[in-house]
Chains A and B, each alone.
Chain A
Amino acid sequence: MAWTFRFLAEIALADIGFEAEGESVEEVFHGATQAVLETMATPSTVSGGWERAIERSDLDPSALLFDWLSEVVYWKDAAGVVYREAPLTLTREGDVWLLRARLIGAPVDQQTQELHADVKGVTKHLYELTQAGDRWKVRVVLDV
């Protein structure tokens, strides 16, 4: 696995910015998802028990990633959970990008989980999915 992400100290002072990158669009999805999970809670402190399968498709991988990250944020509030992991696969069928993912986590528990920021939304500010050589990269700003 060659995906990475890093939080950005120099942009969007009141929010949380990060960059994720990898050798494929799927790897960027992995990196960005992990960044969002870790923004909300330390995944290793979250047990399982709550799970939701999600399937989304789009012609535009950038829009698909944005919608997926927004979905991750949504279920945090709608189900009152934080996440341990979010395994996913991204495939391309013709022009259509297809995401199959699972959100795995547990109800919020302040006694056992290391909790961080309550993300309000994924913004389009500076949002960009780009390819440079054999690397794909996305920059995301989360409103917290």
Chain B
Amino acid sequence: MNLNTDMTVNRITDEIWEIPISEKPGMLVPARIYATKGILQTMDSGVFDQVTNVACLPGISRYALCMPDGHWGYGFPIGGVAAFSVDEGVISPGGVGYDINCGMRLIRTDLTLADVEPHLERLMTELFRKVPAGVGASGFVRLSGEEFGRVMTHGAKWCVERGYGWHRDLARMEEGGCIEGADPSVVTDHAIKRGINQLGTLGSGNHYLEVQVVSNEQIFDPVTAAALGITGNEQIVVMVHCGSRGFGHQVASDYLKRFEKAIRHYGITVKDQQLACAPFRSPEGQEYFSAMNCAANTAFANRQVITHQIREAFATVFGQYAESLGMELVYDVAHNIAKVERYPEGDLVVHRKGATRAFGPGSPELPEEFRQTGQPVICGGSMETGSYLLVGTDQAVRDTFGSTMHGAGRTMSRAQAKKTFRGAELQQQMKQRGILVKAVSMSGLAEEAGLAYKNISEVVESVDRAGITKKVAELRPIGNIKG
């Protein structure tokens, strides 16, 4: 088998591949990659190198994992999952990423393609106006430092209290949109100043807001789909992908710097500077965890304010209240985060970097409404191809620390994509195919061309066949906003 590595990679099943600990000095556990053979063969060398670096970190439990959308990141690969003992293990900002609680949100509607198509241009213009995107963008919410502190501790709950959402939204978010243990006193003023004006903004890169359609033939599990509010019949849904913006980026930057000193202090050696870490129970580890939770809550709030703006835009264009348009939240889920979760080994700090929590129906952590279906998992594809709604499984909880993929995963670097594609041409071609794109940056649009990504359907097949998530529906784009 031709792989972009010289390491030995053993087949466990058709969708699980294992790199034994003999392949790199210092590996404490094997590395496991979830992928079909075809996807494994396209994975870049960085995946193999980085997932085995993660396998060397102190206190790691069972395996260092990489999901099928995995690709070269920094420190951890994107798609990386690793769990560490709370007592013997570490926490690493590089295992979470700069965009803390970058995540996905899906909103359903009662509208159909026939309702929306005649108004699509106006709808996308209104969404583009109401949801600021792109480099340095600021939002409409103006906050005092004290009020921003409440955003850090209350997350999406703060939004609902302020009228930016409905109370029932909260039950459809990971952790109810508010993670406990957020302590603003461990966040720098630098981080606050960087992010205080950015609530309700999308950012750039692979972040987007997308209007999508669900056809009957794209529903794989009608019972679960219906339970989640997905009815097909050319139904319109809206997907949002973004995170904690400059605030979270600065929290990550501040603590990465601090952890460079911490690893020396605690005598930890790492294979990559970006894997800087500290014992979870250490003062540095606990303070990063609290600061990270502040950023995670801010990300939930950011997506909630964006949801409010989306509902307002739809209400303006269709002349009805969002509630009467059936604009209920399907789910909101993080894919860059570290959380303490209980497994047979005990309490573990599970790092998911470009990987999604995927708890099955049996998980006591899930609210009542997902006890039959399992937790919704939202996976964004490229802007040209489509996205998926899936649900978590009890097998994921057993095999992958309740984790699965988060998106398509890149196969081409941004620099290469910019050389290969032209943003304006791409925008025109997509329009001809029925996808209306509004973008702040044409070069940014070129970087996000569909051909720069893996085939999401094959990526989804990998996790579906492996049993760690189950397909519910495929979502086809008709309108996209990019920063």
Partner of B135, one of A78, A117, A127: A117
Q: How many contacting A-B pairs (Cβ < 8 A)?
A: 146
Q: What sequence of 0s and 1s flags, for each residue 196-209 of chain B, a beta carbon within 8 Å of any chain A beta carbon? A: 01100001111000
Let me know if A28 is at the binding interface, CB within 8 A. no
Let me know if A130 is at the binding interface, CB within 8 A. no
Interface contact A125-B274, CB-CB below 8 Å: yes
| B44 contact set on A, CB distance < 8 A | 13
Let me know if B250 is at the binding interface, CB within 8 A. yes
CB B8 to nearest CB in A, in angstroms, measures: 24
CA distance A3 to B430 in the complex (A): 39
What residue in chain A is nearest B447 (Cβ atoms)?
Answer: A117
Q: A117-B135, A121-B253, A125-B75 are in contact. Are A74 and B190 (CB under 8 A)?
A: yes
Let me know if B59 is at the binding interface, CB within 8 A. no
Q: A9-B413, A13-B414, A77-B195 are in contact. Are A117 and B72 (CB under 8 A)?
A: no
Let me know if A124 is at the binding interface, CB within 8 A. yes
CA distance A10 to B205 in the complex (A): 18
CB A13 to nearest CB in B, in angstroms, measures: 4
CA distance A43 to B100 in the complex (A): 29
| B177 contact set on A, CB distance < 8 A | none
Interface contact B246-A77, CB-CB below 8 Å: yes
Let me know if B64 is at the binding interface, CB within 8 A. no
Interface contact B414-A15, CB-CB below 8 Å: yes
Interface size class of A (residues with CB under 8 A): 35 or more
| A76 contact set on B, CB distance < 8 A | 135-136
| B204 contact set on A, CB distance < 8 A | 115-118, 144
Q: A108-B135, A125-B272 are in contact. Are A14 and B410 (CB under 8 A)?
A: yes
| B72 contact set on A, CB distance < 8 A | 11-14
Interface contact A115-B411, CB-CB below 8 Å: no
CB B482 to nearest CB in A, in angstroms, measures: 11
Q: A78-B194, A123-B274, A125-B274 are in contact. Are A14 and B73 (CB under 8 A)?
A: yes
Tell me the chain B residues, 170-217 only, with Cβ under 8 Å from chain A.
190, 193-195, 197-198, 203-206
Let me know if A23 is at the binding interface, CB within 8 A. no
Q: A7-B415, A13-B413 are in contact. Are A116 and B135 (CB under 8 A)?
A: yes
CA distance A17 to B274 in the complex (A): 15
Let me know if B249 is at the binding interface, CB within 8 A. yes
CA distance A84 to B193 in the complex (A): 22
Interface contact B413-A12, CB-CB below 8 Å: yes
Interface contact A116-B272, CB-CB below 8 Å: no
| A127 contact set on B, CB distance < 8 A | 273
| B416 contact set on A, CB distance < 8 A | 9-10
| A72 contact set on B, CB distance < 8 A | none
Interface contact B410-A80, CB-CB below 8 Å: no
CB B207 to nearest CB in A, in angstroms, measures: 8
Let me know if B97 is at the binding interface, CB within 8 A. yes
CA distance A53 to B312 in the complex (A): 41
Let me know if A103 is at the binding interface, CB within 8 A. no
Q: What sequence of 0s and 1s flags, for each residue 454-483 of chain B, a beta carbon within 8 Å of any chain A beta carbon? A: 000000000000000000000000000001
Tell me the chain A residues, 118-142 only, with Cβ under 8 Å from chain B.
118-127, 141
| A14 contact set on B, CB distance < 8 A | 71-73, 78, 205-206, 410, 414
Let me know if A36 is at the binding interface, CB within 8 A. no
Interface contact A110-B412, CB-CB below 8 Å: no
| B15 contact set on A, CB distance < 8 A | none
Let me know if B269 is at the binding interface, CB within 8 A. no
CA distance A108 to B72 in the complex (A): 31
Q: A15-B414, A110-B440 are in contact. Are A118 and B97 (CB under 8 A)?
A: no
| B440 contact set on A, CB distance < 8 A | 110, 115
Q: What sequence of 0s and 1s flags, for each residue 379-421 of chain B, a beta carbon within 8 Å of any chain A beta carbon? A: 0000000000000000000000000000000111111100100
CA distance A44 to B108 in the complex (A): 43
CA distance A115 to B204 in the complex (A): 10
Partner of A120, one of B78, B197, B249, B441: B249
CA distance A94 to B274 in the complex (A): 30
Let me know if B29 is at the binding interface, CB within 8 A. no
Tell me the chain A residues, 19-38 only, with Cβ under 8 Å from chain B.
none
**Which of A77, A116, A118 lies at the interface centre, i.e. has the most chain B CB atoms within 10 A of its CB?**
A118
| B276 contact set on A, CB distance < 8 A | 124
Closest 6 CB pairs of A and B: A125-B74, A77-B246, A118-B204, A124-B273, A108-B136, A9-B416
